[in-house]
């Protein structure tokens, strides 16, 4: 069974996250892994001052206070927890290729759009899969939402806000440098907290400057409410569904000519094949429910050796299924 935590956003920010002992142990292990991956104490020695300046300017104050409170309860240095929560964006600053990939698609059903995704992310010892956690947030201005996450990570890569929208992030690489702006996973969580409608969520996520490249898939509650937002730190383009479905992997489509990046990562080299496989399977038969999406995600041409999570959800019904892949 996937562990779950409940976060009351009406509480003082520093007191929102209380991890049971087993999840706290997992958070310590994840922090060690994240920090070692980025150079650990050497990185902090070289960039610690810049890290704090960036945090002061661009990390939402409430989330910063949450990280401070959790670091104190875990008895970990604050810079380590900050670095772990900025891992996706720090990779862009360092000029490295992200090891987070993903395949996602959305389809219309009689009950509203259904959103499915594989999260592909290389880590040692299947740690992100084994430590999968659900965080349920209440007390937000726009309403409740749930995030598929890991202990110690406070942003959002994959989430459902019942009655409003769903959102997932896929990695992608452009030739545009990193921007000193809000980290995208923190922007996603801010939108989940504060934005009431699918259309406003799409607009905010498309137009707000961010640190790193990404592809965002959103669905709403009504048929046709599906969109892929192609992002660089400063550019955006929005793809809409065709014939009641939309697919995203790790390639720009609308921004391809402007942002082509010379990379040869496994994720990008397989991106086109995964896209075409999902497209072919949807032509053969459309899933009619959240559960019926999972066989497509599990298909050998879609699931990768580094797939750590599979999930599907519906903003219209609030239903979700999450499957760690070990």
pLDDT at 138 over 80: yes
The predicted structure's pLDDT at residue 100: 64
pLDDT at 40 over 80: no
Residue ranges and CATH numbers for the domains of the chain are 4-93 (no CATH), 103-324 (3.60.60.10)
Mean pLDDT over all residues of the chain?
92
> Which residue do the tokens 């995964």 mark?
274
Determine what percent of the chain is predicted with pLDDT higher than 70: 93
Residue 205 vs residue 47, higher pLDDT = 205
Residue 83 vs residue 119, higher pLDDT = 119
Give dist(CA 270, CA 118) in Å, integer.
Answer: 14
CB 162 within 8 A of CB 144: yes
pLDDT tens digits, one per residue of 142-152: 999 999 999 99
pLDDT tens digits, one per residue of 106-119: 999 999 999 999 99
Query: Cα 153–168–123 angle (5° rounding)?
Result: 50
The predicted structure's pLDDT at residue 36: 81
With bands split at pLDDT 50, 70 and 90, how would you rate the model's confidence at 103?
very high
The predicted structure's pLDDT at residue 266: 57
Residue 10 vs residue 42, higher pLDDT = 10
CA dist list (Å): 222 to 147, 243, 257: 21, 15, 32
Nearest one of 279, 270, 286 to 223, comparing CA atoms = 286
pLDDT at 267 over 70: no
The predicted structure's pLDDT at residue 308: 95
The predicted structure's pLDDT at residue 268: 64
The residues that bridge with 227 in the sheet, in sequence order, are: 218
130-138 mean pLDDT? 98
Alpha-helix residue ranges (DSSP H) falling in the chain: 21-37, 40-58, 61-74, 78-85, 87-93, 127-130, 184-194, 198-207, 256-259, 266-269, 271-284, 294-298
161-171 mean pLDDT? 97
pLDDT at 265 over 60: no
- List Cβ neighbours of 106 (8 Å cut-off, separation of 6 or more): 113, 114, 115, 116, 217, 219, 226, 241, 245, 246
Determine what percent of the chain is predicted with pLDDT higher than 90: 78
Phi first, then psi, for residue 22 (nearest 5°) are -65, -40
């Amino acid at each position: 069974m996937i562990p779950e935590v409940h976060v009351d956003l009406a509480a003082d920010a520093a007191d929102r996250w209380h991890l049971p002992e087993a999840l706290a142990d997992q958070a310590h292990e994840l922090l060690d892994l994240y920090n070692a991956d980025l150079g650990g104490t050497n990185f902090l020695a070289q960039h610690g001052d810049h890290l704090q300046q960036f945090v002061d300017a661009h990390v939402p104050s409430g989330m910063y206070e949450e990280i401070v409170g959790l670091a104190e309860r875990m008895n970990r240095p604050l810079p380590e927890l900050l670095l772990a929560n900025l891992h996706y964006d720090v990779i862009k600053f360092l000029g490295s290729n992200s090891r987070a990939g993903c395949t996602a698609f959305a389809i219309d059903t009689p009950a509203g759009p259904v959103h499915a995704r594989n999260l592909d992310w290389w880590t040692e010892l299947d740690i992100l899969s084994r430590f999968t956690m659900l965080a349920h947030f209440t007390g937000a201005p726009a309403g409740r939402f749930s995030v598929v996450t890991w202990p110690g990570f406070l942003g959002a890569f994959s989430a459902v806000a019942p009655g409003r929208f769903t959102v997932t992030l896929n990695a992608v690489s452009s030739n545009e440098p990193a921007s000193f702006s809000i980290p995208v996973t923190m922007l996603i969580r801010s939108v989940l907290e504060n934005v009431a409608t699918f259309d406003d969520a799409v607009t905010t996520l498309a137009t707000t400057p961010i640190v790193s490249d990404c592809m965002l898939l959103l669905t709403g509650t009504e048929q046709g409410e599906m969109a892929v937002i192609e992002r660089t730190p400063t550019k955006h383009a929005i793809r809409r569904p065709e014939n009641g479905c939309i697919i995203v992997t790790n390639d720009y489509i609308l921004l391809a000519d402007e942002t082509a990046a010379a990379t040869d990562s496994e994720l990008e080299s397989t991106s086109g094949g995964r896209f075409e496989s999902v497209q072919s399977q949807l032509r053969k038969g459309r899933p009619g429910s959240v559960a019926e999406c999972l066989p497509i995600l599990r298909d050998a041409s879609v699931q990768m050796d580094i797939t750590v999570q599979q999930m599907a959800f519906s903003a219209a019904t609030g239903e979700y299924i999450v499957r760690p892949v070990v």
